[in-house]
Amino acid sequence: MEAPIVKESGLFIAGSILTVVAAFLGLLLGFNVSFLSTIVFSYTILTWWLGVAGFAFGLTAGVLIIKRRALITALICTTILLIAGILPLLWSFVFPEGFLHELWSTMFYFYGVPIIVFSALSIIFAIASRKKFT
């Protein structure tokens, strides 16, 4: 008798790839914001640090998800990356009009939206395949 073939879903692999891509977008966001440090110092420094931290935590989450280890830690790391994607939207509300509003809005659309979407999908995929984590 043949053993039944059990198909595994690749959701955790897709989640880890999305997390790593979002982590690199967070790093790009941090480096692009660093060019604004002469205009608005406090907002750019916070966004730069959170972009670099989001990169580090995103890579950690991607590795943890692909190795199927420490689901809670991976979710916390992905949430930090998600916060890095939301910051440009918050800063665009601080500056109601003008050049800085347009600049933060553009950064949100180019970097923030993909980071938010990829991180949210990664969290959903990791939770959907939580039984495979040890």
Mean of pLDDT values over 11-33: 85
Query: For residues 79 and 108, which has the higher predicted lDDT (pLDDT)?
Result: 79
- How confident is the model at residue 39, as a pLDDT? 62
Mean of pLDDT values over 108-121: 85
Residues of the chain above pLDDT 90, percent: 1
- How confident is the model at residue 12, as a pLDDT? 77
H or E element that contains 41? helix 41-66
Q: What is the rounded CA–CA span in Å between residue 27 and residue 84?
A: 10
Q: Which residues of 80-116 are buried (b: 16+ CB within 10 A; e: fewer)?
A: bbbbbbebbbebbeebeeeebeebbbebbeebbebbb
- How confident is the model at residue 5, as a pLDDT? 64
Q: Note the pTM of the prediction, 2 decimals.
A: 0.80
